[in-house]
Chain A
Amino acid sequence: MDQARLTELIIRADAVTKRVSTPDHTLTIVRDVSLQVQAGQSLAIIGPSGAGKSTLLGLLAGLDTPSEGDIWLGKHQITAMNEEGRAAVRAELVGFVFQTFQLLTSLTALENVCLPMELAGDNQARQRATEYLSKVGLAERLGHYPKQLSGGEQQRVAIARAFACRPKVLFADEPTGNLDQGTGQKVSDLLFELNHASDTTLVLVTHEQRLAERCDDIIVINDGQVESRNG
């Protein structure tokens, strides 16, 4: 593999397998998955419930370690690192959007968006958070707490939070899974719009074919294995 090609790759997984042990037996959740994602591209991972999509997403994002195989995130071989090393890579490259939004209930919309930037020591956190909340149409709701927002609005806050940190790669786990169809559509429009504008690489796990089809690449996972690939 030549050097120029490697630099364009932002994610690379080689023969990744994840097994977990239960008291009775060992379960293989992800089996021998290899994939590559170019910088700026989008990849959808689809498949039925329990297929291992979220586990694969966690492995690619460096939230968990595989039982076998190697994963590179940017220039970093995260499978060769300890948790502290992976944390540093995540801080540098990664952002998240979750199915359950994961907003902190005691923080306002603005504070939720500010938090990761504040933790990273960004002096412009408040300004950028305000800017991104305006971009997702919540300029009037900065001081509202999560419980005062609808599901769609909460997910828009989560998207603003993810993009405000300017990640190289955004991992989205079922971003519209908890939303009705109309709201889901608006949220996914927003997600792709910001993704193009920010030139971010997007990896998303979804059930929804229509959402997956908006990505540059799709892999279908079944029983932990890549069943098909379309892109």
Chain B
Amino acid sequence: MSMVDAKLLWRDWRGGQLNLIITALVLAVMVVTAVSLLADRVERGLNDQISSFLAADLSLQGGVAIPNQYESQANELGLETARVARFRSMVFFGDASHLASVKAVQNTYPLRGQMELSGETQIERLERVEHGPPAGEVWVEPRLLNLLNIKLGDELEVGYSKLRVSRLISKEPDRGSGFSVAGARVMMSYEDLPGSQLVRPGSQIFYQLLLAGSEPQISSFTQWFEQADIAANGEDGVRHHRLQTPDNAEERLSEALQRGRAFLLLSGTIGVLLAGLAMALASHRYATRLTDQVALMKAWGQSSAAIRRSHLMRLLMITVSATVVGMLLGWAAHYLLLQVARELFDAILPAAGWRPWLVAAITGMVCVMGFALPALWHLPAIAPLRVLRRDLPDDLVSQGKRLIIGIAALLALTLWYSGSVVLALMFLSALFALFAICAIIALQILKLVQQFGNWHGSYVRLGLANLWRRRAQTLVQLVGFSITLMLLLVVVGLRTQLIGEWQAQLPDDAPSHFLFNVASDELEPVKTLLAEQEAQAQHWYPMVRGRLVGLNGEPLTRARLSRAGGLSREVSLTQAALLPEANEIVAGQWWDNDSQASEEFQFSMEIDVANELGVGLGDVIEFSIGGLTFAARLTSLRSVDWQNMTPNFFIIFRPGALDKFAPNWITSVRAKPQQQSGPFVQSAPFVNQIIQQYPTAVVIELGAIIKQIRDVIDRVTQGLEMILLLVLACGALVLFAAIGVSFDERLRENAVLRTLGSSRKIVVGALATEFVALGAIAGLIASIGAEIILYFLQLKVFEMTPLWHPELWILGIVSGVVLITTLGLLRSREIITVPPLQSLRQIA
């Protein structure tokens, strides 16, 4: 690189000719860096957890206690074992309580991976151990200290036991998906489980027998288990236990991960596309400006090769510096995003690998090659004669060719981001289809608007005519802005949808608490306690866990059960004399309680799962509860409003069917509103009393859950909005660049207008009309699009009744107008403020 190239670059930069190209490049690289760093780190974090996801090589698990014969067989095969039980339970310190995720482990836990513990809250003093807590002690997540206002050494009430808080958990190998929306972890010794009396008939406990050993040992056990299971339950019989390998776990995670990655890919690509568009427009203007310079250089005897070398060197310098700046800003943006979302992740995420940086660097290079270089490519071929004859064609690469190169660059990038040809092609096709639809709508609206201008005053007509005259540029701006605004509106709309409307749908007399895991012998005293505290319990339902195992005498296959997602595992079963509120019979009849009960048991099923399973009225289904089986006839189908905040069931039996099983009881309670002292601290007086007197009962405060969900949604949408704001900045660049392309023309026109005596008011008025119309149209298209997307999301994804969002239309149009008018007038200030003579001389 010669000094002359550096000087030329510096002078172009100083002259402001490179501002847009560089800004667009920086933004494109920044968006891609932020997005890929985020994706990479989250993915690595999750992968780390997957690799030790089970804290074992194999996990035998289910909702029923694991028989000793499985453990003896494992021991015989020489496998290491550890028993684990997980459940939710209230833990207590003085008057404070918290619904914790309790995990009871044998001392051999974890078999794979390590526990990271600390004695204090400081993370740097970590201690790694490969065993669980000793009897009499619990290890807890640090946030529990704040929630219950406790310190190490305090005694926590877990069920009927008092256990000393001895260590803080900063990491456990099998902490699930990494998102900790559930209660804080309390880890206790398996030995303390009986004393706590938390395990009772009907308690919802997830049992695991963790296994570790050599590969042959593991596969021998797997084979033995499959055979033993079939021998015990038949080929298609009920399975209360199943084996989980790290692979199963990965499958579940990857789905969520794919969805997240698709969103990031979408915003990243749209950002790059918009920035690329801005870069292409800015490069076109830059190339036009360079034409005279190149002709002059050639007249002075510079060879085409030397000029090409010089341009390539300058572009290289731009690429390298803009990419580095973009990467640094991208790092900062991803850091901010992680700060916003940090409470969603359990532990500190691992550092990113080299790939995001490579992706960013290549993005920078491909953007320059795809969007900037084509505009500049033919400059060295400009005839030196242009110094004398400015009417000679400038031979710049045609717009059509440049479009093709741009699309090819974008395709290459999408391919690189997604790693799949099909995905990249589908993705870009969808994107361009969206663009085309937007462009067609925009063109129609533009036509209408132009006619509207014909019967309006001078500057309105002038401004609208300008929009129509430069309609190619207008369309580019409209499409770019509409789509970015549309995505933002969808995110804003979703947030309102998920929280606001859900809450709005709750009736005023909605229950405030769920109360469950109440044993039969506790039921009457609990009822009395609630009555004393003026807390109204709604209907009490007995609940047992069971499986569906047969249909009309034939075994129900696993494949068939998996069609009805809700029934593929153990489900909660109940019996009731009256049809619960928010349930409606759609086929058959609810039982008449006065009539003599027939010999056979009867049950009612929720209509959707019945359809999924392919069963109808009159079918006989065989159920298995705790190893005992019985058959019942389907006599009615119900529709259920799942959002009504009362206990709901897929399957309800006619009273009598479940009498021989030990149930636990569930109800919803409406308590007098209380002053809340914290998000997780249930403050209604009955809550504390129930927990103290009946430690195995579980109380969930709905307000706290709604708040918790809202917090999570808020953080996720904040993250999405931050990414989309970056994309919007790219959209703003397109506006800047598009105005730049017509800048000289506008400068000349306005100079002529003002020379001919037009007032400044008319010039500013025409410009303002142009931008207001542009903003309003973009906002309108964005609102239409967002409404359509939200309609389908509500209908298909969230299964809600679709609602209109008038507030989004106002938000879309107003933000479009304000944003575009402000940016547009800002970019055009020179056109307005520079005296006409100076403008004319500048163009000459």
Contacts and interface: CB of A to CB of B under 8 A. Distances in A.
B12 A91 contact: no
A87 B303 contact: yes
A96 B383 CA distance: 16
Interface stretch (A7-15, A99-107, A214-222): A99-107
Contact of B296 (A83, A104, A147): A104
A63 B384 contact: yes
Interface stretch (B57-65, B385-393, B629-637, B817-825): B385-393
A64 B392 CA distance: 12
A147 B303 contact: no
B386 to A, nearest CB: 9
B12 to A, nearest CB: 7
Nearest to B838: A147
Contacts of B384: 63, 83, 87, 90
A77 to B, nearest CB: 17
Interface string B358-386: 00000000000000000000000001110
Interface stretch (A43-51, A111-119, A192-200): A111-119
B297 interface: yes
Contact of A173 (B4, B305, B388, B838): B388
B389 A104 contact: no
A111 B297 contact: no
A118 B298 CA distance: 14
A191 interface: no
A102 B292 contact: yes
Contacts of B7: 118
A85 to B, nearest CB: 9
Given A106-B15, A106-B17, A90 B385 contact: no
A147 B842 contact: yes
Contacts of B844: 100
A57 interface: yes
Nearest to A104: B293
Contacts of B383: 63-64
Interface in B814-844: 838, 841-842, 844
A111 B296 CA distance: 14
Interface string B754-775: 0000000000000000000000
Contacts of A98: 387-388
A90 B303 contact: no
A54 B388 CA distance: 7
Interface in A113-144: 116, 118-121
Given A105-B15, A147-B841, A96 B387 contact: yes
A64 B383 CA distance: 8
Contact of B302 (A58, A64, A102, A119): A119
Interface residues of A, number: 32
Nearest to B841: A147
Given A84-B303, A106-B17, A111-B11, A63 B4 contact: no
Contact of B299 (A84, A90, A121): A90
Central interface residue in A88, A105, A165, by most chain B CB within 10 Å:
A105
A107 B11 contact: yes
Given A96-B299, A116-B300, A104 B292 contact: yes
B301 interface: yes
Contact of A90 (B301, B304, B306, B841): B301
Interface residues of B, number: 32
Nearest to A106: B15
A204 to B, nearest CB: 13
Contacts of A32: none
Contacts of B390: 100
A173 B292 CA distance: 16
A127 to B, nearest CB: 16
A9 B12 CA distance: 41
Contacts of A102: 292, 296, 387
A87 B841 contact: no
B259 interface: no
A94 B12 CA distance: 26
Contacts of A223: none
B389 A87 contact: no
A106 B11 contact: yes
Nearest to B834: A147
A211 interface: no
Contacts of A116: 297, 300
Contacts of A121: 4
Given A63-B384, A102-B292, A104-B292, A87 B15 contact: no
A86 to B, nearest CB: 8
Contacts of A87: 298, 301-304, 384
A106 B4 contact: no
B4 A118 contact: yes
A83 B380 CA distance: 12
Contacts of A105: 15, 842
Nearest to A173: B388
Contacts of A109: none
Nearest to B293: A104
A118 B6 CA distance: 12
Given A105-B15, A106-B12, A63 B387 contact: yes
B660 interface: no
B252 interface: no
A16 interface: no
Contacts of A96: 299-300, 387
A207 B178 CA distance: 83
A25 B385 CA distance: 22
Interface in B128-173: none
A157 to B, nearest CB: 13
A54 B303 contact: no
B470 interface: no
Central interface residue in A89, A91, A165, by most chain B CB within 10 Å:
A91
Interface string B6-18: 0100011011110
A83 B304 contact: yes
A92 interface: yes
Contacts of B387: 63, 96, 98, 102
Nearest to B3: A118
Contacts of B305: 84
Nearest to A62: B384
Contact of A58 (B15, B303, B385): B385
Central interface residue in A61, A102, A116, by most chain B CB within 10 Å:
A102
Contacts of B17: 106
Interface string A64-101: 10000000000000000001100111111010101010
Contacts of B301: 87-92, 94, 120
Nearest to A149: B841
Central interface residue in B293, B387, B389, B838, by most chain A CB within 10 Å:
B387
Interface in B663-686: none
A107 B296 CA distance: 14
Contacts of A63: 299, 383-385, 387-388
A91 B300 contact: yes
A63 to B, nearest CB: 5
Nearest to B310: A119
A57 B388 contact: yes
Contact of A88 (B293, B303, B841): B303
Contacts of B16: 106
Contacts of B385: 58, 63-64
A100 B842 CA distance: 12
B309 to A, nearest CB: 12
A75 to B, nearest CB: 16
A20 B305 CA distance: 27
A230 B244 CA distance: 105
Nearest to B381: A83
Interface in A164-202: 165, 173
Closest 9 CB pairs of A and B: A91-B301, A106-B15, A90-B301, A63-B385, A116-B300, A63-B384, A64-B385, A87-B301, A118-B4
9 contacts: A54-B388, A63-B387, A87-B302, A94-B301, A96-B387, A106-B14, A118-B7, A119-B302, A165-B300
Given A90-B299, A91-B300, A106-B15, 4 more contacts: A57-B388, A106-B11, A116-B297, A121-B4
